[in-house]
């Protein structure tokens, strides 16, 4: 493999792109023209960029790479959900050989509905948290994704037939976003920027397993994103059985950080709760969760577990889910059941994303 010294377009913000153009004798306004072609018009074909001179397009062809990843697999579910498997080169080298799994793969998902187009993106290659019920951490973590590689997932999903404009982005794919906070925030700036993809910050959700210090730092982020806490259990004893990182912070500590989030941002937090059949989906769990949820300004998203081959958890029964929701609502907690079946037939549903080995059954 050889080194690729070209500049990665998606890693640059507008001032950085202006500086790059200026350093190469291009007018600074060419940066906005490039951003319009790539983000607004969705093209990286230099041949179509006719408002740039032929000399400048030749320069770009030699010194700029617009995409960094390699699209290894594209699957579409019967419900219209789409899943992409992307391969990322190691630092300083070109793309890996097609069809060869390296552990540097991630998945992202497009979830369409009548009123929105939601991109579910990854922030890391794998996941360091290792939740016992989740596929994403089965092989551990290979490394962080850069801001440009996060943006690239949304850009690629938006280019798929019938998708059009992406309206929502959720950091609920592979990885713990707050363990890669700097790149995630830079990516959000590009996703939100008028010169970028122009997605409302309020429609961008960061989902975290819970890092109190990182949540407090996120309070000072200048964009009004939505925060979701992956709680998944109403007490520390139960939570530590399924979330290894729960050893490092207690539920009260997490709630305190979430209180600070609300005080500083004025934005309600979402408590995510995966219902695991026979484990955390009983009435007593719902009653305890209702007491927890009422201590902060929060709503609760209930998520039916999606089975993962080789893991010992089961999907809860529909009646159990409805009883769980009713207990919370009767206690005054705003509670919704997420449509977690989307993409199940291509293993694109919540908790099913993982390093896909490019082999039969991978």
**Hunting for tokens 């989906």 — which residue is that?**
281
Annotation marks residue 76 as catalytic: no
- CA–CA gap between residue 104 and residue 126 (Å, rounded): 8
Annotation marks residue 350 as catalytic: yes
Contacts of 125 (CB under 8 A, 6+ apart): 88, 103, 104, 105, 106, 141, 142, 143, 144, 145, 174, 175, 355
Catalytic residue among 11, 18, 105, 107: 107
C-alpha dist (Å) from residue 332 to 17, 192, 240, 272, 294: 50, 34, 27, 17, 8
Catalytic residue among 11, 127, 350, 356: 350
CB 103 within 8 A of CB 72: no
- CA–CA gap between residue 208 and residue 191 (Å, rounded): 19
Active site residues: 107, 350
């Amino acid at each position: 493999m050889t080194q690729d010294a070209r500049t990665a377009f998606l890693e640059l913000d507008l001032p950085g792109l202006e500086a790059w153009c200026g350093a190469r004798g291009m007018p600074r306004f060419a940066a906005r023209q490039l951003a319009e072609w790539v983000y607004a018009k969705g093209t990286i074909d230099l041949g179509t960029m006719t408002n740039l001179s032929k000399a400048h397009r030749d320069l770009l062809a030699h010194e700029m790479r617009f995409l960094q990843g390699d699209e290894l697999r594209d699957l579409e579910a019967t419900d219209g959900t789409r899943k992409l498997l992307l391969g990322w080169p190691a630092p300083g080298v070109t793309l890996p050989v097609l069809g060869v799994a390296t552990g540097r793969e991630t998945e992202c998902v497009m979830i369409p509905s009548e009123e929105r187009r939601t991109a579910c993106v990854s922030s890391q290659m794998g996941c360091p948290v290792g939740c016992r019920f989740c596929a994403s951490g089965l092989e551990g973590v290979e490394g962080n994704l850069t801001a440009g590689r996060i943006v690239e997932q949304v850009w690629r999903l938006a280019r798929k037939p019938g998708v059009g404009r992406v309206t929502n982005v959720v950091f609920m794919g592979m990885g713990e976003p707050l363990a890669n906070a700097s790149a995630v925030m830079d990516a959000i700036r590009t996703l939100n920027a008028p010169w970028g993809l122009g997605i409302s910050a309020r429609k961008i959700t960061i989902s975290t397993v819970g890092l109190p210090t990182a949540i407090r730092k996120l309070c000072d982020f200048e964009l009004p994103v939505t925060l979701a806490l992956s709680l998944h259990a109403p007490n520390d004893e139960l939570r530590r059985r399924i979330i290894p990182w729960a050893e490092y912070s207690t539920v009260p500590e997490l709630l305190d950080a979430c209180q600070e989030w609300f005080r500083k941002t004025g934005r309600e937090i979402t408590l995510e709760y995966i219902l695991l059949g026979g484990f955390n989906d009983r009435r007593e769990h719902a009653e305890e969760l209702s007491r927890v949820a009422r201590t902060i300004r929060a709503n609760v998203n209930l998520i039916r577990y999606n089975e993962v081959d080789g893991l010992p958890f089961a999907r809860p029964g529909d009646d159990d889910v409805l009883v769980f929701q009713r207990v919370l609502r009767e206690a005054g907690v705003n509670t919704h059941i997420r449509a977690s079946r989307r993409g199940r037939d291509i293993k694109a549903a919540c908790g099913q994303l993982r390093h896909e080995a490019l082999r039969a059954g991978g």
